[in-house]
Structure 1
Amino acid sequence: MTSTAAESVELVEHAPAVSLPLAGAAGRALAAADIVDAVPDPYTPGRWSLRAGSKVGAVAVSVPGADTPVTVRVTPKVPIARLFFLLGYSLDPQGGWRDGEVEVAEHRDLLPALAHTVERQVDRALRQGLLQGYRATEESALVVRGRIREAEQIRRRFGMTLPVEVAYDEFTMDIAENRILRTAVERLLRLPGVPSDVRRRLLHQRSRLADVTAIVRGRPLPAWQPTRLNSRYHHALHLARVVLDGSSAEHAPGGLRIDGFLFDMNKLFEDFVTVALGEALRGTDHTSRMQDPHHLDEAAAIRMKPDFVLYGPDGTPCAVVDAKYKAEKRGGFPDADLYQMLAYCTALGLCEGHLVYAKGNAPHAAHQVRHAGIVIHQHALDLDQEPPGLLTAVRTLAQRLVNTPRV
Structure 2
Amino acid sequence: MNLRHTRSHRCGDLARPIELKEGGGWTVRDLTPPQLATLADHPELLALHPENATRWRLKAKDRVGSVRLGSGEGTVQLTITPKVPVDRLLHLVAYAPDRVRFDPRPVTAEPRPDLLPALGHAFVSAAGHALSQGVLHDYRETYDTLPVVRGRIRHADQIRRRPGVPVPLEVVYDDHTPDIPENRLLLAAARRLLRVPSLDPGLRAALQRLTARLEGVTLLPSGARPPQWTPGRRNARYSHALVLAELVLRGGSYEFGDSRYLAVDGMLVVMWRLFEAYLARAVGEALRHRVGGRPEPQDRSHFLDAAGRHPLKPDLVHYLPSPHDGVQRPAAVVDAKFKTKPQRGDLYQMTAYCMRLGLGEGHLVYASGSEGVVEVPVGEGRLRLFRHVVDLSRPWRELAAAVEALAESVDAARTARAV
- TM interval, shorter chain, is 0.5 to 0.7
Give the corresponding residue for 2:374.
Answer: 366
Aligned 1:138-153 pairs, distance under 5 A: 147=152
Q: 1:39–1:266: structure 2 CA closer, same or farther, 3 Å change rule?
A: closer
Secondary structure at the residue paired with 2:141?
strand
- The structure whose Rg is larger is 2
Which amino acid in 1 is paired with 2:297? M
Where structure 2 has 5 or more consecutive residues not aligned to the other structure, the ranges are 1-12, 97-111, 164-168, 254-262, 323-327
| Alignment of 1:295 onto 2:302 | yes
- Structure-2 separation of matches of 1:285 and 1:125: 24
Per-residue displacement from partner, 1:139-173 (whole Å, max 9, x unpaired)? 9x7999755778xx69xx9x944699975434555
Secondary structure at the residue paired with 1:344?
helix
Which amino acid in 1 is paired with 2:366? Y
| Alignment of 1:377 onto 2:386 | yes
Give the corresponding residue for 1:399.
Answer: 411
> Shift in Å at residue 358 of structure 1?
0.8
> Shift in Å at residue 298 of structure 1?
2.4
> Shift in Å at residue 264 of structure 1?
4.1
Q: 1:279–1:295: structure 2 CA closer, same or farther, 3 Å change rule?
A: closer
Give the corresponding residue for 2:365.
Answer: 356
Which amino acid in 1 is paired with 2:362? G
Q: 1:221 aligns with which of 228, 235, 251?
A: 228
- Structure-2 separation of matches of 1:120 and 1:396: 27
Aligned 1:101-180 pairs, distance under 5 A: 109-110=114-115, 113-118=118-123, 133-137=138-142, 147=152, 160-161=160-161, 168-170=173-175, 172-180=177-185
| Alignment of 1:322 onto 2:335 | yes
Which amino acid in 2 is paired with 1:318? A
- Structure-2 separation of matches of 1:206 and 1:128: 14
Give the corresponding residue for 1:342.
Answer: 351
Which amino acid in 1 is paired with 2:356? A
> Shift in Å at residue 188 of structure 1?
6.2
> Shift in Å at residue 176 of structure 1?
0.8
Which amino acid in 2 is paired with 1:197? L
TM value normalised by structure 1: 0.65
Matched-pair contact (CA < 8 Å) for 1:21–1:46: yes
Which amino acid in 2 is paired with 1:309? V
- Structure-1 separation of matches of 2:40 and 2:185: 31
- Structure-2 separation of matches of 1:346 and 1:310: 15
> Shift in Å at residue 212 of structure 1?
1.8
Matched-pair contact (CA < 8 Å) for 1:115–1:198: no
Matched-pair contact (CA < 8 Å) for 1:352–1:404: no
Q: 1:404–1:286: structure 2 CA closer, same or farther, 3 Å change rule?
A: farther
> Shift in Å at residue 308 of structure 1?
1.8
Q: 1:42–1:267: structure 2 CA closer, same or farther, 3 Å change rule?
A: closer
The percent of aligned pairs where both chains have the same amino acid is: 36
| Alignment of 1:333 onto 2:339 | no
Secondary structure at the residue paired with 2:182?
helix
> Shift in Å at residue 380 of structure 1?
2.3
Give the corresponding residue for 1:276.
Answer: 283
Give the corresponding residue for 1:42.
Answer: 50
- Structure-1 separation of matches of 2:345 and 2:232: 40
> Shift in Å at residue 239 of structure 1?
1.8
Aligned 1:52-91 pairs, distance under 5 A: 52-61=60-69, 63-64=71-72, 70-84=76-90, 90=95
Secondary structure at the residue paired with 1:405?
helix
TM value normalised by structure 2: 0.64
Where structure 1 has 5 or more consecutive residues not aligned to the other structure, the ranges are 92-106, 249-256
- Structure-2 separation of matches of 1:127 and 1:352: 41
> Shift in Å at residue 73 of structure 1?
3.1
Give the corresponding residue for 2:315.
Answer: 307
Which amino acid in 2 is paired with 1:383? L
Aligned-pair Cα RMSD in Å: 5.0
